Each structure stands twice: as C-alpha cells, then as structure tokens.
Amino acid sequence: MKSLRLMLILAFALASAAANAKTIRVEVNGLVCAFCANGITEAFNRRTDVSDVFVSLEHRLVAIAVKDGKDIADAELTKTLTDAGYTVVGIARVDTTLDAIRAEVANE
C-alpha cells in the first residue's frame, strides 16, 4: 500500500513537471553548418537557467528547455543568437518537452 502511494506521488510529480515544462522554439536563419552552429549550443549551455538545448539545421530550429520557473526574454534570446552569428526569425513558447521535439525531428 505504501509503495503504491509512493508510485502515485511519483507519477503525479512527473506529470506536473511535464505539464509545466517550458520549451522555447526559435526559428533561425543561417543554420547550414554543424561545425559553425556548435556555438549556439555552447552559448545556451553556459546559462544557468537552461537545462537543455537542441539545434536542427533541417528545421532551422533552436529549441531551448528552461528550468522550472525560469524564462528567457525574447530580447535576450535574440541577442544570444545574434551574438552567435545568426538571425532570429521567430520565437514561440510551447509546452512540448525538448525530448518530444527531439523525437519528433528524429522520426520525420
């Protein structure tokens, strides 16, 4: 009974975390070379409010998972990507997890 309760609590916690997950999708121009675009990953990985980064050249996409309760202002996102040498075209915040985006891209 105790272990069932524990499992329910864990399942609820995981579901809540997924529901609160905030991923920022940024559409970027100029993404043509993995060797050059590595700077984007490095730039976001240096931030303490970012938990994961995913870059897809095919989808002209930079997806950033922020830690719970955190967000990155559009101006700051644009500056980070501009300073990395790229041009931001659009920014959207979605509830999809970064892993789900990664899987979606991989399955295409």
Partner 1 sequence: MKMPLCSALALLAFASAAHARPIGYAGGQMLMLDASDDLQQLSVTHAPSFRYAFAAGHLRASELAGADDTLSSTYLRAAILAKRWNLPRAQANVFFWGGLGSARYASADGSRHIGAQVDYETRRIYTSLVSELHEGSGFSYRFDTAAVGIAPYEHDMERMASWIVLKAKHTSNARDTSLKPEIAWRMFTAKWWLDAGIDADGKPSINLMFNY
Q: Which residues contact partner 1 (rule: CB under 8 A)?
A: 28-30, 32-43, 46, 55-58, 60, 83-87, 89
Number of Cβ atoms within 10 Å of the Cβ of 54? 19
Do 24 and 64 touch, CB atoms closer than 8 A? yes
CB closer to partner 1 out of 8 and 92: 92
- Minimal distance in Å, beta carbon 85 to partner 1? 4
Nearer to partner 1, 14 or 36 (CB): 36
* Tokens at 66, concatenated: 């922020």
Stretch (H or E) spanning 12: helix 2-20
Nearer to partner 1, 26 or 28 (CB): 28
Least distance to partner 1, CB of residue 65, Å: 16
CB of 94 to partner 1, least distance (A): 20
- Rg of the chain's alpha carbons, rounded to an integer? 16
Could you give the CA distance from residue 67 to residue 70 in angstroms, rounded to a whole number? 5
Which C-beta is closer to partner 1: that of 1 or that of 33? Answer: 33
Residue 85: strand, helix, or coil: coil
